[in-house]
Amino acid sequence: MLNSRKKNQISLFEGVDSVAVIIYFLLVLIGFVNIVSASYNDEIEAFSFAQNYIKQIFWMGAAFSVALIILLLDSRYYHMYAYYAYAGGILLLIAVLLFGREVNGAKAWFEFGSVRIQPVEFAKIATALATARLMSNYSFSIKRLGHLMRVAFIIFLPLAIIILQNDTGSGVVLCSFIFVLYREGLNKWICIPMIIVAVLFICSFLFTPLFLLLLLLIIFTASSAMMIGSWRMHIMFLAAICLSAMLLYGLSMFVFGGTLSGYASLLIMTIVGVVVAAIYAFRKNIAAMFLTLGIFIISVAFVPTADTIFESVLKEHQKVRILSFLGIMSDPSGADYNVNQSKIAIGSGGLFGKGFMEGTQIKYNFVPEKHTDFIFCTVGEEWGFIGSMIVLGLLCALILRLMKMGERQEEPFSRIYSYCVAAILLFHVLVNVGMTVGLMPVMGIPLPFLSYGGSSLVAFTILVFVAIRLDASPRKGLMSAVR
């Protein structure tokens, strides 16, 4: 015991995964180079503090200091204080909701002088720690509905507060935890319908409610059948609902003169079906079916009513972004402007790019937010396809490395946490780079390590270095160390 402690003190970086650290430094450095190019303002002095890249130097210093502190701290603390961190994170989110400053319509910032901090970035770390702590409990079983509900609560509580802050984009990041849940044994026939429902929600404007309802019925019946088996019974169930709905519709047409629409008929029969299925599940005691039914009810409540949610919950700019992404609305000088200009900047980069500080689209301000959310445009335009591939390659390597680091842990806490970090990074890259090339609707979330911004750089640094620290600790169980 003493011996091992001594060893830790002798070599601070023993066991630290050098690959992950090198990738991290490369990404931050590339990010800095691009921030210089994207935010250089020729109207003020090159080394003035008003230049964003000078500020970024300070943020980088802060991030590196935090990284060092994390490596110095005992790895047990993260497990021990996970729930406290979570409670702190939730309090911060509530505080910012009450006292925060509104920027771009989102009340998500604390302001101290000229420094702004976005608590949501830190809430992600806290949520990742809490999820890992909860799921690493000896008694925890993802197969048990009650336990799953606890995980869902931990994830959706911050998400709900973030949505209230009107910062939906940052909140949705937490949905990426389904990636972790799948790794930890969540039935894929829960994951797949949820992903489909998420896609359907975004695309719900393209279909009629009747069609959506029918689609949901089919998806969930199929997934239930995949989980429980007994296909024949599920098909019969589906057919019974459809036929009785048609019968009801016909009846109302000829007997009551068309008081019920097709959608209403199907909805009534669906409710009847759900009740019947619930009674059946209760009597046969099939827990999986309750889960499917629960998700189904939530989906039915949200997806066909997406129009209403869309109108009442989403803000104008969010609506416009989603509509323009789906191609329902086109306005090249308005909502589409960002994405169009972003694609133009990246597309004009070619194979080798235009060179450092030579990107005309960046230099002449055609791309908005070019040093923050649209930093990938700077990479694409000035460093071309080769530069873009290097950045994407590094990000991909870091995510895979984190997954690998998770897999080699004996301790579930470290593994789950590593996967949480990988999931968060993956989601950020997918949405951020996806929006710059028009694959995703515009959501204001940063590109990890590259985007300008103190909160996000420090938060991602903490996120990754905690994982590195957990990985670097002697590969013994944490609990035994405490003992």
Partner 1 sequence: MSGNDTYIRRMILQAIVYGIFAVIALRVGYIQLFDSKYKSLADGNVLRYEVLYAPRGEIIDRNGEYLVQSKECYDLMVTYRDIGKQGFDTVRLCELVGISKEKLLRVLRDARSAPRKATLVAAFVPTEVKVRLDEYNFPGFHSVYRTMRNYPRKIGGNLLGYLEEVNRNDIKEGEGEYKMGDYIGRAGVEAAYEKYLRGDDGVMILEKDAHGAIKGSYMDGMYDTLPVAGKRITCTIDARLQAFAEELMEGLVGAVVAIEPQTGEILVMASSPTFDPDELIGRERGNNYMRLLRNKRNPLFNRAVKAKYPPGSTFKLVQGLIGLQEGVLTPAQAYPCHLGYHVGRISQKCHPHASPLDLRNAVAQSCNAYFCYVFRDIIDNRKYGSVKKGLEVWTDYVKSFGYGRKLDSDFIGEGPGTVPTREFYDKRYRGSWNSLTVLSLSIGQGELGCTPLQMANLAATIANRGYYYIPHIVKAIEGQDSIDRRFYEKQYTKVDSEHFTPIAEGMWRGVNVQGAGTSWRAYVPGLDICGKTGTAQNPHGKDHSTFLSFAPKDNPKIAISVYVEFGGFGATIALPIASLLEEYYLTDTITRPHLIETIKNFPYNPRHYAE
Q: Parallel, antiparallel, or unpaired for β 115-117 and 101-103?
A: unpaired
> Does residue number 464 form part of the binding site for partner 1 (CB under 8 A)?
no
Whose tokens are 């980088």? That residue is: 60
Q: Rounded CA gap, 70 and 468, in Å?
A: 9
Mask of contacts with partner 1, 155-184, x by CB under 8 A? ------------------------x--xx-
Size of the site for partner 1 (CB under 8 A): 42
Q: Which is nearer to partner 1, 111 or 358 (CB)?
A: 358
Q: Which is nearer to partner 1, 290 or 337 (CB)?
A: 337
Whose tokens are 């984009």? That residue is: 169
Nearest-Å Rg of the Cα atoms of the chain is: 25
> Does residue number 189 form part of the binding site for partner 1 (CB under 8 A)?
no
> Does residue number 412 form part of the binding site for partner 1 (CB under 8 A)?
no
> Does residue number 61 form part of the binding site for partner 1 (CB under 8 A)?
no
> Does residue number 136 form part of the binding site for partner 1 (CB under 8 A)?
no
Q: Point out which span in 12-20, 130-138, 385-393, 467-475 binds partner 1 (CB under 8 A).
A: 385-393
Q: Point out which span in 118-126, 168-176, 287-295, 437-445 binds partner 1 (CB under 8 A).
A: 437-445
User: DSSP letters along 66-96, please?
Assistant: HHHHHHHS-THHHHHTHHHHHHHHHHHHHHH
Whose tokens are 């619930």? That residue is: 278
Q: What is the 3-state secondary structure (H, E, C) of 46-67?
A: CCCCCCHHHHHHHHHHHHHHHH
User: DSSP letters along 358-399, please?
Assistant: --HHHHTT-STTTTTTTHHHHHHHHHHHHHHHHHHHHHHHHH
- The single residue among 165, 361, 378, 451 that binds partner 1, judged by CB under 8 A, is 361
> Does residue number 407 form part of the binding site for partner 1 (CB under 8 A)?
yes
What residues contact residue 43 under an 8 Å CB cut-off, 6+ apart?
A: none
Residues of this chain, 321-340, that bind partner 1 according to CB under 8 A: 333
Q: Treating both helix axes as pointing N-terminal to C-terminal, what angle do 82-99 and 145-164 enclose, rounded to 10 degrees?
A: 30
> Does residue number 341 form part of the binding site for partner 1 (CB under 8 A)?
yes
The answer to whether the CB of 351 falls within 8 A of the CB of 385 is yes
> Does residue number 399 form part of the binding site for partner 1 (CB under 8 A)?
yes
- The single residue among 21, 103, 437, 481 that binds partner 1, judged by CB under 8 A, is 437
- The single residue among 346, 375, 447, 472 that binds partner 1, judged by CB under 8 A, is 346
> Does residue number 343 form part of the binding site for partner 1 (CB under 8 A)?
yes
Q: Point out which span in 11-19, 250-258, 304-312, 364-372 binds partner 1 (CB under 8 A).
A: 364-372
> How many helices, marked H, and strands, marked E, lie in the chain?
22, 3
Site for partner 1, rule CB under 8 A = 179, 182-183, 185, 333, 341, 343-351, 360-361, 363-366, 380, 384-385, 388-389, 392, 395-396, 399-400, 403, 407, 422, 426, 429-430, 433-434, 437-439
